[in-house]
Structure 1
Amino acid sequence: MIGLCKLQRLDASELFSGVGHAPAPLEGSETGLLMDADQQHASIEGVETSRQNWNLQAWCVDLLQASHPKNAAEIAQLLSKRAPVDLRANVSKCTIVEATKLLETDDIVVERLQISETALRVKSNPRKVKTSKAYLNGAVELQDAGSQALIDALPIDDCSTILDYCAGGGGKSLAMAARSQARIFAHDVNPKRMQDIPMRAARADVNIKCIDQAAIIKQGPFDLVLCDAPCSGSGSWRRSPDAKWKTTKSDFQDLITLQAQILNDASVYVGAGGYFCYATCSLFAQENEEQVNAFLKRTDKFTLLSQKSWTPLDGCDGFYVAVMQVKV
């Protein structure tokens, strides 16, 4: 609340008065937090440049600056704003134009986005999406535009078998199934996370088979293995703002270790000449480029074909994807 006073230039002495139900007057270190507020509000084109106004833990500010030295402040500010509601047109059932018209029958107005050919942004009545005909019949699915762009970057066209190794709720499995005739297999270390995949796949009219570790060995190797690894989630913190305060530096280091282990474990399921794709919804280089570089130093099996990242400055959540291929 003291921070809010600073951001909105409110008179803290009036709000923290101790009168009635008001909180007690500020004292000691609390008063010090309000000092030099004017100097801390220096801005360039409306973007707060003071580190205290980034609304992030100090160690996260350091990581963001190191990862995006030219525009870290702008990214931090966007992480404090409300995230848009994006939809993916299910092109296996309808065209994006047909999906748009169907949404309009429920008074849901959308606009197309350039970041992905399947992406639609809801401009009015977002609360109606889940009860709309377009959603209920599988013509559209809720999915951030950046996540859709990530799927666009995967070489799935020539694949006949695909493993989504860290499938979670299956959003990326569904997106791949809508665009490919490949057999899609979904796996997660916690099977409960995948419990909605069969229902979502049926609604979208696509086939996705959920499998455990034993079945992976039986079904593999695969033409493409996608590891959408557990991460800090920093790219989507505007959708879960509590996460940027709950995540500790120790948690982050544990995630780095886990990501490295997942890369090692999943890489063995890629077939000859196949693709190994590593993705996160993180903005931090330690979880992205640095993680992939370290993996490639541990093995001589793969070569890096491409890597790409997105930030809220691209009009979407933050994502990263690296595409590697088994050396011939």
Structure 2
Amino acid sequence: MTPGARVSAAIEILNAMAEGLPAEQAMTRWARSSRFAGSKDRAAVRDYVFDVLRQRRTAAYFGGGETGRALMIGLLRAQGADLETLFTGEGHAPQPLADAEQTVPDAPTDTATLWNLPDWIIPDFNESLGDQAEAVAFALQSRAPITLRVNLAQSNPGSVSAQLSDLGIDTRANPRAPSALTVVEGERKIRNSPLYLEGKVELQDASSQAIVAAMPKAGRVLDYCAGGGGKALGIAMYPGTEVFAHDIDPRRMSDLPARAARAGCVIPQIETEDLPAKAPFDVVLCDAPCSGSGAWRRSAEGKWTLTAARLEELTHIQDSILDAAAELTTENGCLVYATCSVLKFENEDRIKAFLTRHPDWKSTFEQRFDVDEHGDGFYTTHLMRV
């Protein structure tokens, strides 16, 4: 594909999303109808689409609208691209710019456009992050680092990094977690590499790994909101643990058996109705459903679909999860709460509310992880009975 054809493809996908199709579905539909596109073409088109999602307000401002074409004009203009060489109308390239599209507006000055956030959430960002709000908002506009979790039960980061280098995958140590390696080059080779296929590495954000590294890892451990099971797999690396997985929607755990087998471990899954009989657990991890605001670099669509009403609903879900998980924790056990959110309403405020409802509990550990070059924004707290 020519550079212009890639822009046209991104416009097509953005238009499909404007009609209500989720980003991943729109990408898949385009890919299936564009068998001619090579892997580099698909990666470039994907980057365009998700760059727009991360910087949607800026793109709309510089492009003069919300259509796929306007958003791509705005994104490329903000990136300093030569639009005349991309919008030529030749082959599969988009048509040349109309006179009205030639006008370049002055730089934006309003916070919402500069921060690329919905208006309603800016006060929440300021209240939650204080002086760091602007830095976090800007960090969320960039691409997220690609990070590997080394299976410490099978190898060590130094050895794995050297083996990856021989395969053309360059990595560096990530300070956020001892098992984390940040991929510098060759990320598209990972899933087909023998190290990945043999379970020696998994793709996992470094902050997510840090949550596991910080928590107690002994005895019977329940990953209460397991999802795909990334944290359960991380816990299973450590000796002396017996790990169980649960999710209110078991379909989310469908890939876990294969992933566990690849990693050389067994993680039994527990149905919700069976939890009381299987309890108590020495450690219960609640990686609770949340806004995902700390991971909006990866799931940028989420910041445009989140509403104040949904955020309020999530806080009630988080409260109910904490209450239920507390009942599953042994007398001297640890309840670990975690989110990939930067909003205090989902983090510190939820713990304060829990401790008000449960005065016989206390917080023994609390940590925030920033949105930066090392990983996503996360929050975690350890709770124990007094």
- What's the TM-score, normalizing by structure 2? 0.74
CA distance in 1, matches of 2:320, 2:131: 31
- Tell me if structure 1 keeps the 8 A contact 2:222–2:284: yes
Residue in 1 that maps onto 2:282: 223
Q: Which amino acid aligns with 2:111?
A: S
Which structure has the highest helix share of the two? 2
Where 2:131 maps in the other structure, the secondary structure is coil
Where 2:335 maps in the other structure, the secondary structure is strand
Aligned-pair identity (%): 37
Count of paired positions: 307
Residue in 1 that maps onto 2:207: 146
Residue in 1 that maps onto 2:62: 4
Matches within 5 A, 1:166-205: 166-205=225-264
Residue in 1 that maps onto 2:21: none
Residue in 2 that maps onto 1:267: 326
Residue in 2 that maps onto 1:97: 158
For residues 64-86 of structure 1, give each alpha carbon's deviation from its aligned partner in whole angstroms, at most 9, with x where no partner exists.
11111111111111101111100
Residue in 2 that maps onto 1:84: 145
CA distance in 2, matches of 1:154, 1:307: 11
Gaps of 5+ in 1: 41-48
CA distance in 1, matches of 2:126, 2:183: 31
CA distance in 2, matches of 1:200, 1:260: 30
Where 1:279 maps in the other structure, the secondary structure is strand
CA distance in 2, matches of 1:190, 1:154: 24
- Tell me if structure 2 keeps the 8 A contact 1:311–1:319: yes
1:51 to partner: Cα distance: 3.6
Where 1:208 maps in the other structure, the secondary structure is coil
- What's the TM-score, normalizing by structure 1? 0.87
Q: Does 1:53 align with 2:114?
A: yes
The Cα RMSD (Å) is 2.5
Gaps of 5+ in 2: 1-58, 64-73
CA distance in 1, matches of 2:191, 2:373: 26
CA distance in 2, matches of 1:4, 1:69: 28
CA distance in 2, matches of 1:83, 1:270: 35
CA distance in 2, matches of 1:25, 1:229: 50
Q: Which amino acid aligns with 1:173?
A: A
CA distance in 1, matches of 2:201, 2:213: 17
1:111 to partner: Cα distance: 0.3
CA distance in 1, matches of 2:305, 2:169: 35
Which structure has the highest strand share of the two? 1
CA distance in 1, matches of 2:283, 2:197: 30
Matches within 5 A, 1:208-287: 208-287=267-346
CA distance in 2, matches of 1:24, 1:295: 58
1:3 to partner: Cα distance: 1.9
Q: Report runs of 4+ in structure 1 exceeding 3 Å deviation.
A: 4-10, 19-27
Residue in 2 that maps onto 1:46: none
